[in-house]
Amino acid sequence: MPHIKVGGIEIYCEIYGTGGSTLTMIRGLGSDLLAWFPQSTELSKHFRVVAFDNRGAGRTDKPDEPYSIKQMADDVNGLLDALDIQRTALLGISMGGMIAQEFAIHHPEKLSCLILGCTTFGGPESVPPPLELLNAILAGPDADEKTRRLQEQALFCNDTIASHRDVIAAYGEAKRQFPIPPFSLARQADAIRRHDTASRLGQIQAPTLVMTGTGDRLIPPQNSRLITARIPGAILKELPGGHLFMTEYPDVFNRSVMEFAR
């Protein structure tokens, strides 16, 4: 069944492929598993792919109460237990990367490897997002035209905005299927504000790949460099694209994930 009871909520989950190893994917703020459309088909050729909607998003329950990144990492752990998955490669982007950091710290025995994309360790030592772009993202899908332009700048690089409107349209169509309610978007955003793993990243034991888009305006690439410096043995890849570089340049992103996870 696509809905699985975990920690008092129903989590919506889909599994693709029948590969010998498992890859679990965690999406970011306000997003749901449909946004993995450039990844799901290709990665499922090589892995058993587990994708799900975070607490508050998509078809997962949306309790109107405080969320935390640690709580969402516990959701991931409970989901894996319910699916009887003992070990997985873990891919998290943006807020999903924050969740993946907490998971790696608390459940190292379940990780074959860790892949973090366009994310931050949070707290005062991180490089914050530009306030104008952050506020535009938090305005949600019903924003005015000026704010929608800022949302595009936050998510996509200049080349995509100027020359690849089809990429933006495809992402927008995926997002429109199950729009996140304003209250749960705010709950997720508050969890992000309180996220801080800066002093604990040295505890991560799994082989780690950190990726960023060189044109990411929302979570500046310096955050990925800072993360890489704090996780023992971590590898950094800077790829073309903005915050959603996995949507803009899926071939290079997917290839990087497959090569590292295998």
Residues 10-29 have pLDDT tens digits of: 999 999 998 789 999 999 99
Nearest 5°: the CA angle 13, 253, 34 is: 30
Per cent of the chain over pLDDT 70 is: 100
pLDDT tens digit string along 28-77?
Answer: 999 999 999 999 999 999 999 999 999 999 999 999 999 999 999 999 99
pLDDT tens digit string along 215-250?
Answer: 999 999 999 999 999 999 999 999 999 999 999 999
The predicted structure's pLDDT at residue 1: 57
Q: Full-prediction pTM beyond 0.95?
A: yes
Nearest to 185, CA basis, from 9, 31, 75? 31
- By CB atoms closer than 10 A (0-12, 13-18, 19+), residue 146 is exposed
SS3 102: helix
pLDDT tens digit string along 88-140?
Answer: 999 999 999 999 999 999 999 999 999 999 999 999 999 999 999 999 999 98
